[in-house]
Amino acid sequence: MGKISPPPAASPLLLRGRTSPLTRRRFIEGLAAGTTVASLLPPLSASPARAAGHARSHGLPELTGTRFDLSVEPTRVNVTGNPRTATLVNGLMPGPILRWREGDTVTLRVTNRLRVQTSIHWHGIYVPAGMDGVPGISFRGIDPGETFVYRIPVRQSGTYWYHSHSGFQEQTLLSGPLIIAARDSDPIGADREYVIFLSDWTDEDPETVYYHLKTSNGYYNHHRLTAADFVHDSRAKGLLATLRDRFEWSTMRMDPRDILDVTGRMTGGTYTYLVNGQAPAANWTGLFRRGERVRLRFINGSSMTYFDVRIPGLGMTVVAADGSNVEPVTVDEFRIAVAETYDVVVTPNEDVYTIFAQAMDRSGYARATLAVREGLTASVPPMDPIFSRTMTDMGMSMPGMESGPRKMPGMSMPSEQGDDMPGMDMSGMDMSGMNMQGTHTSGKKMPAMQHGMSGMSDSSGAAPKARAHARPNASGQVAYPQPQEVRLALGPEVVSIAKNPTGRLDTPGDGLDGNGRRVLVYNDLVRLDGGPQNTPFVTRDPDAEVLLHLTGNMERFIFGFNGLTYDQSEPVRFPHGQRILVTLINDTMMEHPIHLHGMLTELENQKGKLRPLKHTVNVKPAEKLQYYVNATELGRWAYHCHLIYHMDAGMFTSAVVA
Ligand SMILES: [Cu+2]
């Protein structure tokens, strides 16, 4: 994908807005005020929602019907006190809530008023391939001045969103909520509902952010371990153990405090975290009456930020994940990966609550308020402590070891390859330190990159080979297929291979484990109803398997699938009509939210035919997980990490259903 070039002096978008910046800015400021007014308590008679099963949303402008006119335009906004230009839909940040109805066919006329190409992708939506909105994959993009007409038969319901798939426009807030009413009754009765759209805003040009990431490892990471930490750790763990720990992390080209690549302004980074386009100080507020059932549709529309969400004092009952209804599960907190959506129902009995969404790396938070009237605020809790990555994240866990005393993890050297020693395969790695500027300095010969991928076409175009698939054994553990058919070679693109990846669907993840709160885990998700009409094979054994390693070199900011960036990779083949079991193994030490376009996936969390449907699946460091793809949708579909800079740095491929 993108070539790296120095940051431009100013974005072309900044200078060439169609409308005068001042006019636009006034409009946005006026809109912010208008939004507040619109969120005033509507009369209860306006929301006979529980009976009808269709609650209304308040607080964000919305468009309903079957014909939509959307304009993508440069718009002056002011999030931090510094005017900047965003690329917005209809001048709104986030874009208008689009309300569709299952069974309708909607047409959306999208006019590009930017000076560069644009696109809109409908995230998690079953669409004809040509309507998916990914330039170079499913259509050619929308040129400046052009109007593209999307035509979509709506085959599902729930909470989704839309965003640009061009350049870094998504980072400049070209995104918005997409809510689809069920054709029949909605099982989630609510008196009132709000969309809670989370995003990460930067005053920097996204090209500049990417340039920093590519050229300066850890540019935004101000949580790095310091000399003081070293002294502290040496006292606690002993000098040798601390030295060894530091050595291990340095050979991994990772810092254990490297949690998110781009961080918040609170710790010296660049992001301001927004709820419904509002910074924490602006405090977006949704109103309710005591005792009401309030549905909150959380959408993580950010470019790079995972959020840990809670409403102190208020239990949240999760009722839908990624748009599909799930059996209600009540939690104190949930982690929402980039591009995921969760619907929760709350029943507030106090006057005011804070919706608190701290960035996973604790570098800032988004915040909003639920209150019985305007002007009330509840206290904002302190952020949780900063955490460090663990041996589990390094793929070095083994039974009984996770919580036991630390042992020297096994490092598989070349002569040991193929043994059962747990730990990272570091053969081929430059062990001499952090200096790896494009050359291999260790003197070891770098093995040739192997391109063989299970279930992927090779040069002969052979179809995927069916293999025995995973089945739960007597103890309920899924026996994963062994990844022998993907031979990864360590090199610049792959600096680590998790040799002992584990299932982690039963834990909420780093920084949340053991925090004393009940935190949602993927194993909690049980599908409630049929979901989209397009997942007809839910009890069938898979016809084929695909294995994808999520690989990367954090120091050089290169990412990929199976060691290959987009330029190098072949499309994944999903034969039409087949059911494919996909195994994802995360060989990196960061989370990746993996998104398949075109088809929802059934996450294998051992719920049988009630596996939850997901469009975006978070894969934790050194995690191995599986899902099923029912290849019902013909065409070529994007398949990628939804962290926008990871995607551009190579963790992007396509899937062909033919
Ligand atoms: Cu990623």
- Specify the CATH number for the domain of residue 114: 2.60.40.420
The Cα–Cα gap between 633 and 147 comes to 26
450-482 residue pLDDT tens:
333 333 322 222 222 223 333 333 443 333 343
Cα 462 to the center of its chain, rounded Å: 32
Distance (Å) from CA 642 to ligand 1 centroid? 6
81-101 residue pLDDT tens:
999 999 999 999 999 999 999
Distance (Å) from CA 624 to ligand 1 centroid? 15
**216 within some domain:** no
Distance (Å) from CA 550 to ligand 1 centroid? 8
Answer with the one of 188, 204, 225 that is the final residue of a domain: 188
Q: Are 550 and 624 in contact (CB under 8 A)?
A: no
The Cα–Cα gap between 524 and 501 comes to 21
Distance (Å) from CA 621 to ligand 1 centroid? 11
Distance (Å) from CA 645 to ligand 1 centroid? 8
216-225 residue pLDDT tens:
877 887 666 5
Distance (Å) from CA 501 to ligand 1 centroid? 17
List beta partners, residue 197. 299
**How confident is residue 184, by pLDDT bands cut at 50, 70 and 90?**
confident
Distance (Å) from CA 371 to ligand 1 centroid? 36
List beta partners, residue 97. 62
**255 within some domain:** no
> Into how many domains does the chain fold?
2
The Cα–Cα gap between 59 and 57 comes to 7
The two counts, helices (H) then strands (E), for the chain are: 7, 33
Residue of 589, 574, 587, 564 lying closest to 640 (CA atoms): 564
User: Which residues touch 589 (CB under 8 Å, ≥6 apart)?
Assistant: 252, 254, 258, 389, 393, 394, 496, 554, 621, 622
196-205 residue pLDDT tens:
999 999 999 9
Answer with the one of 188, 208, 242 that is the final residue of a domain: 188
pLDDT, residue 485, reads 56
Distance (Å) from CA 261 to ligand 1 centroid? 10
Residue 233 has pLDDT above 80, yes or no: no
Q: Which helix (H) or strand (E) holds 72?
A: strand 67-78
Distance (Å) from CA 618 to ligand 1 centroid? 9
Residue 243 has pLDDT above 60, yes or no: yes
Q: Please work out, in degrees rounded to the nearest 5, the angle formed at the alpha carbon of residue 50 by the alpha carbons of 46 and 55.
A: 55
Residue 564 has pLDDT above 50, yes or no: yes
**655 within some domain:** yes
Residue of 561, 645, 588, 641 lying closest to 212 (CA atoms): 645
Residue 215 has pLDDT above 80, yes or no: yes
Distance (Å) from CA 572 to ligand 1 centroid? 18
Distance (Å) from CA 640 to ligand 1 centroid? 8
Residue 430 has pLDDT above 70, yes or no: no
User: Which residues touch 590 (CB under 8 Å, ≥6 apart)?
Assistant: 258, 259, 260, 261, 552, 554, 621
Distance (Å) from CA 306 to ligand 1 centroid? 11
Phi, psi of 212 (to 5 degrees): -60, -45
Distance (Å) from CA 552 to ligand 1 centroid? 9
Residue 176 has pLDDT above 50, yes or no: yes
pLDDT, residue 531, reads 61
Distance (Å) from CA 471 to ligand 1 centroid? 28
Q: Which helix (H) or strand (E) holds 211?
A: helix 206-215
**210 within some domain:** no
Q: Which helix (H) or strand (E) holds 64?
A: strand 62-64
Residues of the domain holding 471: 388-412+423-430+449-658
Q: Are 626 and 604 in contact (CB under 8 A)?
A: yes
Answer with the one of 155, 188, 221 that is the final residue of a domain: 188
614-646 residue pLDDT tens:
999 999 999 999 999 999 999 999 999 999 999
Distance (Å) from CA 591 to ligand 1 centroid? 6
How many residues are recorded in the chain?
Answer: 658
Q: Where are the beta strands (DSSP E) in 375-468?
A: 411-412, 424-425
Distance (Å) from CA 593 to ligand 1 centroid? 6
359-397 residue pLDDT tens:
999 999 999 999 999 999 999 999 999 888 877 777 765
Residue 54 has pLDDT above 50, yes or no: no
For the chain, the C-alpha Rg in angstroms (whole number) is 24
Q: Counting beta carbons within 10 angstroms of the beta carbon of residue 547, is it exposed (0 to 12), middle (13 to 18) or buried (19 or more)?
A: buried
21-49 residue pLDDT tens:
333 332 333 233 323 223 333 333 333 33
Distance (Å) from CA 559 to ligand 1 centroid? 7
Question: Which carries the bigger pLDDT value, residue 449 or residue 576?
Answer: 576
Distance (Å) from CA 547 to ligand 1 centroid? 17
Distance (Å) from CA 643 to ligand 1 centroid? 5
**206 within some domain:** no
Q: Please work out, in degrees rounded to the nearest 5, the angle formed at the alpha carbon of residue 209 by the alpha carbons of 170 and 366.
A: 60
Residue of 620, 648, 403, 409 lying closest to 505 (CA atoms): 620
Task: Report the 10 Å Cβ neighbour count for 230.
Answer: 15
List C-alpha distances in Å: 361 to 218, 266, 470, 590, 596. 13, 11, 34, 11, 26
Distance (Å) from CA 305 to ligand 1 centroid? 11
**316 within some domain:** no
In DSSP notation, 580-615 reads EEEEEEE-SSS-EEEEESSS-EEE-SS-GGGPPEES
**250 within some domain:** no
The Cα–Cα gap between 422 and 410 comes to 6
Distance (Å) from CA 265 to ligand 1 centroid? 22
Residue recorded with tokens 């866990």? 397
Task: Report the 10 Å Cβ neighbour count for 210.
Answer: 24
The Cα–Cα gap between 165 and 120 comes to 6
Distance (Å) from CA 345 to ligand 1 centroid? 30
Q: Is 559 helix (H, G, I), strand (E, B) or coil?
A: strand
Distance (Å) from CA 376 to ligand 1 centroid? 38
Residue of 532, 197, 243, 544 lying closest to 343 (CA atoms): 197
**78 within some domain:** yes
